[in-house]
Chains A and B, each alone.
Chain A
């Protein structure tokens, strides 16, 4: 599964931050020094964040204080000064993910007939999951250990459910909750992960399978609607 976006986001990853911090560039008037200092601290912070992303996504290593020390060349104290806990790190990484994938995540189909809408939804979700796969895997791991990740996942799932309800309600005649649960499951990251990671289907095959199941669900909805 290849993500379209590189997770190594910052060019400062190639810089030896420890030496950079000790550089003699930061002499002169205090205001200028402070601005430099702030910029430098931000860069170091970005460097640590990117190291955590690379460890998790590229190297498939759990980012811990020890692995971050090895990866960045910074001391444990320096890393902890920027990120007192892994939860703080997760919050920072989530901001990056939101900037990169927020639009893809929020995309919903245009209003129309039920089956074409569901088919478009599958394509939109597939596009999002393919792009954000590395971050989603990281979130899966983080959700077990980090409260902020679990909370954020729950909020995003609820927001998606609300959008699905709004989309499906006009078509479902009192069966909305049942249909939403099915559509939410079929278009979830968990389902995508299963089809791509466990069954090893191609992206197109996974999309076709999901469309096929959702067409069966929609046919049942239409059948009920006709009966009503």
Chain B
């Protein structure tokens, strides 16, 4: 689950290269601390892990929320194509099957970072706001996809489909029920079909 191949860096102008390199070291240290050491990052352990001085870390990231926002921005920029992927218009069942595949591909790829991102979503308003905007855009696209098929029932159907292909549902199947990727794809795909077919 989760390839861990997420690229953490951003394109930088020459003038910003040094600063961006330092930020990159700190961002990587965050994940090493959380994933390998299971520690909550703070300036002291980040300094030890990254080799960047505590003063510089505090200067770059006055609060832990600033650090979380920076990490989120970089990840979102790098993952934009995956987040924006959506089925091509066509037969409803095909589109729904594609949607399940696209979203599960995204979760399989990003599980490593999103699992930790959840903690910051709960703690930091700015991260919650970013997630809400992204989710809102996704919701609008699902609505648009389903409206021609469900008319006045689109609201209900869109909410059900959004839930079934959501990160939270996927995470439950993989992390709590410990199902394989294949089992998860099958169950979620099957549930989406059942919901859409139900009178």
Interface residues of A in 169-208 (CB under 8 A from B): 178, 181-182, 184-185, 188, 190-191, 193-195, 198-199, 201, 205
Cα distance, A88 to B117, chains bound together (Å):
24
Cα distance, A213 to B34, chains bound together (Å):
36
- How many Å from the CB of A209 to the closest CB on chain B? 6
Residues of A within 8 A of B135 (CB): 198-199
Q: Which of B42, B118, B132, B160 contacts A140 (CB 8 A)?
A: B118
Contact status of A199 and B122, CB under 8 A, knowing A190-B168, A191-B168: no
Closest B residue, CB atoms, query A216: B198
Contact status of A145 and B198, CB under 8 A, knowing A185-B187, A209-B160: no
Question: Is B126 engaged at the interface, CB distance under 8 Å to the other chain?
Answer: no
- How many Å from the CB of B185 to the closest CB on chain A? 13
Cα distance, A60 to B121, chains bound together (Å):
10
- How many Å from the CB of B66 to the closest CB on chain A? 15
- How many Å from the CB of A228 to the closest CB on chain B? 18
Contact B40 A62 (CB under 8 A): yes
Tell me whether chain B's interface is mostly helix, strand or loop, or mixed: helix
Contact B38 A144 (CB under 8 A): yes
Taken residue by residue from 11 to 53, chain A's Cβ proximity to chain B (1 for < 8 Å, 0 otherwise) reads as: 0000000000000000000000000000000000000000000
- How many Å from the CB of B198 to the closest CB on chain A? 4
- Which of A64, A157, A201 has most B Cβ within 10 Å? A157
Question: Is A107 engaged at the interface, CB distance under 8 Å to the other chain?
Answer: no
- How many Å from the CB of B64 to the closest CB on chain A? 8
Contact B160 A144 (CB under 8 A): no
Contact status of A190 and B169, CB under 8 A, knowing A60-B123, A144-B115: yes
Residues of B within 8 A of A64 (CB): 40, 42
- How many Å from the CB of A214 to the closest CB on chain B? 10
Residues of A within 8 A of B171 (CB): 190
Question: Is A94 engaged at the interface, CB distance under 8 Å to the other chain?
Answer: no
Cα distance, A178 to B195, chains bound together (Å):
16
Closest A residue, CB atoms, query B171: A190
Of B4-12, B81-89, B173-181, the one touching chain A: B173-181
Closest B residue, CB atoms, query A86: B40
Question: Is B52 engaged at the interface, CB distance under 8 Å to the other chain?
Answer: no
Contact B122 A141 (CB under 8 A): yes
- How many Å from the CB of A85 to the closest CB on chain B? 12
Contact A145 B39 (CB under 8 A): yes
Contact A220 B194 (CB under 8 A): yes
Question: Is A104 engaged at the interface, CB distance under 8 Å to the other chain?
Answer: no
Contact B122 A188 (CB under 8 A): no
Residues of A within 8 A of B172 (CB): 184-185, 188, 190-191
Question: Is A76 engaged at the interface, CB distance under 8 Å to the other chain?
Answer: no
- How many Å from the CB of A143 to the closest CB on chain B? 9
Question: Is B191 engaged at the interface, CB distance under 8 Å to the other chain?
Answer: yes
Question: Is A91 engaged at the interface, CB distance under 8 Å to the other chain?
Answer: no
Cα distance, A28 to B146, chains bound together (Å):
78
Residues of A within 8 A of B139 (CB): 199
Question: Is A148 engaged at the interface, CB distance under 8 Å to the other chain?
Answer: no
Contact B177 A184 (CB under 8 A): yes
- How many Å from the CB of B152 to the closest CB on chain A? 15
- How many Å from the CB of A215 to the closest CB on chain B? 7
Closest B residue, CB atoms, query A145: B38
Interface residues of B in 69-128 (CB under 8 A from A): 115-116, 118-119, 122-124
Residues of A within 8 A of B197 (CB): 216
B residues sitting closer than 8 Å to A (CB atoms) are 34, 38-40, 42, 115-116, 118-119, 122-124, 131-132, 135, 139, 156, 159-160, 162-164, 166-169, 171-173, 176-177, 179, 183, 187, 190-191, 194-195, 197-198
- Please give 20 more A-B residue pairs, beta carbons under 8 A apart, in addition to A62-B40, A62-B123: A62-B119, A140-B118, A140-B119, A141-B122, A145-B40, A157-B177, A178-B187, A185-B169, A185-B173, A185-B177, A190-B169, A194-B166, A194-B167, A195-B163, A199-B135, A199-B162, A201-B159, A213-B160, A213-B164, A213-B194
